[in-house]
Structure 1
Amino acid sequence: MDADVEIRTARLRLLSWRESHRDAFAAMHADPEVMADLGGPIDRTSSDAKLDRYIDTYQRYRTSRWAVESRDGRFLGYAGVMARPATTHPLGFHYEIGWRFNRTAWGHGYATESASAAIEHAVRVTKLDAIVAYALPDNLRSLKVMERLGLLRRADLDFSEATEDGGIFEALVWKVEIGRYR
């Protein structure tokens, strides 16, 4: 990613990924509670591959997940708009807003604040006209963030897909009102 890209909010910095983020990124993905919605923790190799996908996606589409830090430089998690290839997803090619934060960052409004800034950036930079979000029905934290972001529920887009651990991901889909971010 471009080393100089930074999006500032009232309390946060959304940054291009740096090598220095890898350890904190992997530690977050090793936390069973943080990863409960995706079947549990992932190992360092899988975490590094995920971060590499985020970097590659930014290079291709000029938007991706961003490292989210406090103003004093503490890694909190990530948020951003990610392009999803048509060949690997039930919704076909689409852009998805998503976030994940360390447990210590939960309950402070960081997901809403950073996701809103990431949506605004993606709309401005890519001129895209649709962004979705999805979560499991019991992921109440993420569903509340979607509500606070003003996303619209789209039950007609709900989907199921197999997970790497042999489970099923049953997703509720919400759609961003792009006009709010123009």
Structure 2
Amino acid sequence: MDRLPTLDTPRLLLRPWRDADRIPFAEQSGDPKVMSFFPGPMTPVESDALADAIQAHFTEHGYGWWAVEVKGGDPFVGYVGIQHCDFAAPFAPAVAIGWRLAAEHWQEGYAHEAAEAVLDFAFDRAGLEEIVAFTVPANLASLGLMERLGMTYDARDDFQHPHLPPEHRLRHHLLYRLSRAAWQARG
């Protein structure tokens, strides 16, 4: 795993996952507050399976959801990264940026700081042309972060998440986009 990229920001280290990350990740994955805009809290077994999938994505693509560590502080506060969409949608194939941090680390600017580093990596080092992001309309914090990152929304891109049943309260998603040209032209 040492060959996988590590991203450095003023306050954070975005790094490959360690075995020690699995316990705090399982705690976050089981927290109803953290998982309020996901289908539901995960069991420790489900959380471990997701951690395995994250590591497999890194191995296959050279990037993924990095473990976020606070320099001189908490060794694991969650993840921020980019990942290939694993479902059929009108905008796919696509690479999506995503984040999930422990609730005690919300509103500290960590997601924004980490997401900027990830976008620099995506466009400058990975050579991607576009990054998407999506969430449900009620997730105002994530929607605000998408806008602060310079991502744009077009209602024509709204979609029903195929991993959720038709009646699920979180099935309707909004899609935001960011091109490499727009990222590089920011002020």
Shift of 1:150: 0.9
Shift of 1:181: 4.3
- One-letter identity of the residue aligned with 2:20: S
Corresponding pairs, count: 180
Partner of 2:88: 89
Q: Residues 124-166 of structure 1, C-alpha deviation per residue, up to 9 Å, x if partnerless?
A: 2321111100010000110111111111113222110244577
Distance 1:23 1:89 in 2: 32
Q: Residues 71-105 of structure 1, C-alpha deviation per residue, up to 9 Å, x if partnerless?
A: 025111110011124xx232432100000010110
Partner of 2:160: 160
Point out where structure 2 has 5 or more consecutive residues left out of the alignment: none
Instruction: With the length of structure 1 as denominator, give the TM-score of the two structures.
Output: 0.91
Identity value in percent: 33
Point out where structure 1 has 5 or more consecutive residues left out of the alignment: none
- One-letter identity of the residue aligned with 1:23: I
Contact 1:7 1:117 in 2 (8 A): yes
Distance 2:106 2:98 in 1: 15
Matched position secondary structure for 2:160:
strand
Contact 2:4 2:63 in 1 (8 A): no
Distance 1:2 1:157, change over 3 A: farther
Contact 1:61 1:126 in 2 (8 A): no
Task: Name which of structure 1's ranges 161-170 and 147-156 shifts more when overlaid on structure 2.
Answer: 161-170
Distance 2:57 2:184 in 1: 22
Instruction: With the length of structure 2 as denominator, give the TM-score of the two structures.
Output: 0.88
Distance 1:114 1:131 in 2: 15
Matched position secondary structure for 1:131:
strand
